[in-house]
Structure 1
Amino acid sequence: MKIITSFGTRRVKRQQECLASWLMHDHAVTAVQTISRPTHAKTYLAKMRKAFPGVEFVLVADKPNPFGRPTCPPITSMVRLIENEPALVVNSDIEIASEFDHWGEVPGNTLRVGIRHDQAEDGSLRLRKYGIDVFEITPAMVEHLPDIGFAFGCPVWDYWVVYALSEAGFKVSADHNPIFLHEEHTRAWDDKAQSIGVEIMRNRYGIRQRDLTQYILRETNRFDIAAATG
């Protein structure tokens, strides 16, 4: 199955390791990257292809978003690439540790999501209580994910995908198996960015942050998982 992602400028080595795991499991990979000057496209593509070999790159123009991060591509620019077959939208720092053929046993009108396990320095794994990093998006879902300001890598986009598709009538199936691994690191966004994502949801759907969190925990069956501390 094709993976759609977007590579960042930080922690490049980890992203390269994750890419290697995707390719090892025979996933084709498409990366949507933003570019501010079309005249720089050739040089930029050469640089990215060298850093991330085996990837098909799709360039989109920088676009202002509510988070003030135009280099983060709109979610719509990624899911619109899904036309005939389902694809996985995956954060670029998620390693795929094993196959997940059992996803095919879930009914087709279902949003399948993968919940990551955070990996500590000692190698121990902990299922993540909050956040979602892997989505199987079908062509039928794309029209239900309009551009309302969310961008890949910015807070709350993951909750929005689950909320919007669940409200559109799709069932949600969350995989808690230790398949999708993530190395712990410092948070890449601040509370202000988080509040912007929350505000988008409140303005669009009239849902408050606490209610949204409870909704997602219920849909992904994570009420009983302990949150990380420290």
Structure 2
Amino acid sequence: MYKNLTIATSIAPFNLSVQKQAISSWLNCGFRVVSINSIEEIKILQTEFSNVEFVETKSNAANKYGKPYIYFDNFLDYFSSADSKICGIVNSDIHFINFSDQLFQFIIGQSNQSIVYGSRIDIDSIVNLHGDVYELGLDFFFFDKDIIPLYPKNEFCIGLPWWDYWAVLAPILKGITAKRLITPFAYHIKHSINWNKDYWYSLGITLSQFINTHTIKNDEDLGEFGYSVLDFIEKSSSYINLSDRVKTKRILFVYDNKGIQSSESKTYESIVNQTYPNKSIVFGNNQDNFHDQVEYDYISYIQEGSILHPNYAEIMLSFNNDPDIIFCNFKVNKTRTSIFYLSSSVSEEGEVSRHYNSNMVYKRGVFLRDGIIRGEKKGSKACFVGHSLVHTNYTSYIENLLQGKKNIFIYGCGGHTKQLIELVDFSSFDLKGIIDSNPSGNYFEGYPVYAANEINNLVVGCILISSFSFESEIYEQLIKVINKGKIIRIYNNT
């Protein structure tokens, strides 16, 4: 076993306090840290980071991209001559929190002849670790030194688009085992991100040439290509977890089939194919009284249209502190190139926001009613898995949001609502009309249109906000005139 597992990064000559804290967290786990920089940057940084070894690179991308970005190949060149069997590349503002006594040995064991990678969890501060996994990017990589020769020469740079995809994609294409580490330990304090669209496009074209499966003619084509690469990486990877919890807890899946034959349901198939051994399945819904089933420790209500990751139960039940409610993110596929991610949260009073049933697991005796955790453990401890372990299509997502609702109105007479009406069959819902702040006609897509200042004259059961860019603004306007419990947000933008 090699004692020296090295993480290489490239420290930026600004926001030093955040990077110091992040790198200290790596050192506390036992990693050796190297920063690869230009000589100009090293002169600025060296005295500030006395516990980091700096390596000067003779080449950088300053002439090509305007800043001294370090080429991915520079990292590989360094590791080729270094004495570390396991090599790590981590963005310099990623904090390793929790599992500090396990991480080093775990990485060494899992990275042998493999690549281990994962995504950060974006948070507002180190004090509050509740946040969302940045699903569209990858932030840490650990790999066996033996796979370095498998990387073709390339122009990707740390800090510019697409290098993170390349870091995992290249070894996968050569048959190397890829493992996604999903344990929540890598955290990132949110900040504004400025990226150059031209670099995104040109480097995306470069990545596509290594695969040669897509014809890229415009931004939309490139966006679709990016989603397909992520999907390929995901399907080519196994999930690994730092938790060593024994799989003794029993879970009951309550499947709401909504009249669909189980033999024809991908939802049911995804439940049956769970890797977790101690599971049972019954037909029902979250209105049925299953929360007092004494033979089970946990219950998960799964609605038709939701697809579970094969490791859903295994990951959700991996917490050692026996939480009373566990929830994960979920992914909504709108079109081939339009995907969004949603996350739930739980207040100290036990109020759950943005819940979708299928992304939650309840301890026996605990249940959700009207958005509040009820039962003998009301206000109990909740645990959060930042990864999207459940996905659904846009139509199923909207239908579940509106299930059982009466006197429905949609807010917004624009292209978003037009697409919404095209994708969802509203003939089976009690849709009364469309509300808009500046209506230009009496009807929209066959439904009557009402001015926003008429809301108090309408019998409103709920209002579905049909806007991405202005969702929060519309929400703030609506809560001034109607109860917030009647407002449904599709994206939950904040």
Contact 1:95 1:180 in 2 (8 A): yes
Contact 2:18 2:93 in 1 (8 A): yes
Contact 2:113 2:147 in 1 (8 A): no
Contact 2:112 2:143 in 1 (8 A): no
- The answer on 1:56 being equivalent to 2:60 is no
Task: For residue 165 of structure 2, give the secondary structure of its aligned residue in structure 1.
Answer: helix
Could you say which structure has the larger radius of gyration? 2
By percentage of residues, which structure has more helix? 1
Give the unaligned 5+ runs of structure 2. Answer: 215-224, 240-308, 310-328, 332-340, 343-492
Residues 67, 175 of structure 1: alpha-carbon distance in 2 compared, 3 angstrom cutoff: farther
The count of aligned residue pairs is: 223
Alignment of 1:127-146 (within 5 A): 127-146=133-152
Aligned to 1:38: none
Aligned to 1:93: 93
Distance 1:19 1:158 in 2: 19
Q: Report the identity percentage.
A: 18
Contact 1:95 1:182 in 2 (8 A): yes
1:95-121 Cα shifts (integer Å, max 9, x gaps) = 111332333443722211132111134
Residues 55, 172 of structure 1: alpha-carbon distance in 2 compared, 3 angstrom cutoff: same
Contact 2:113 2:177 in 1 (8 A): yes
**What residue identity is the alignment partner of 2:107?**
W
Give the unaligned 5+ runs of structure 1. Answer: 36-40
Aligned to 2:205: 199
Alignment of 1:33-182 (within 5 A): 33-35=37-39, 45-64=42-61, 68-83=65-80, 84=83, 85-97=85-97, 98-99=99-100, 100=103, 101-106=105-110, 108-121=112-125, 122-182=128-188
1:192: Cα distance to partner? 2.3
Task: For residue 31 of structure 1, give the secondary structure of its aligned residue in structure 2.
Answer: strand
By percentage of residues, which structure has more strand? 2
1:74-102 Cα shifts (integer Å, max 9, x gaps) = 11111222244112111101111133233
Aligned to 2:12: 8
Distance 1:161 1:173 in 2: 13
Distance 2:213 2:69 in 1: 25
Task: For residue 89 of structure 1, give the secondary structure of its aligned residue in structure 2.
Answer: strand
**What residue identity is the alignment partner of 2:57?**
V
Contact 2:13 2:45 in 1 (8 A): no
Contact 2:114 2:143 in 1 (8 A): no
Q: RMSD value over aligned CA atoms? A: 2.5
Distance 1:156 1:66 in 2: 19
TM-score, normalised on structure 2? 0.42
The partner residue of 1:183 within 182, 189, 195 is 189
